[in-house]
Amino acid sequence: MTLDNIKPGQGGVITAIGGQGALRRRLLDMGLTPNTRVQVRKVAPMGDPIELSLRSYVLTIRKEEASKIELKEVFSI
Q: What is the pLDDT of residue 73?
A: 77
Q: What is the pLDDT of residue 7?
A: 92
Q: What is the pLDDT of residue 70?
A: 94
Cβ proximity of 15 and 71 under 8 Å = yes
CA angle at 60 for the pair 44 and 3, rounded to the nearest 5°? 80
Q: What is the pLDDT of residue 47?
A: 86
Extents of the domains making up the chain: 3-76
Closest CA to 66 of 17, 13, 15: 17
Q: What is the pLDDT of residue 74?
A: 80
Whole-prediction pTM: 0.86
Q: pLDDT tens digits, residue range 4-50?
A: 999 999 999 999 999 899 999 999 999 999 999 999 999 999 989 99
Task: Describe the chain by its helix, strand, coil percentages, rounded to 5.
Answer: 20, 45, 35
The superfamily in CATH containing domain 3-76 is: Ferrous iron transport protein A (FeoA) (2.30.30.90)
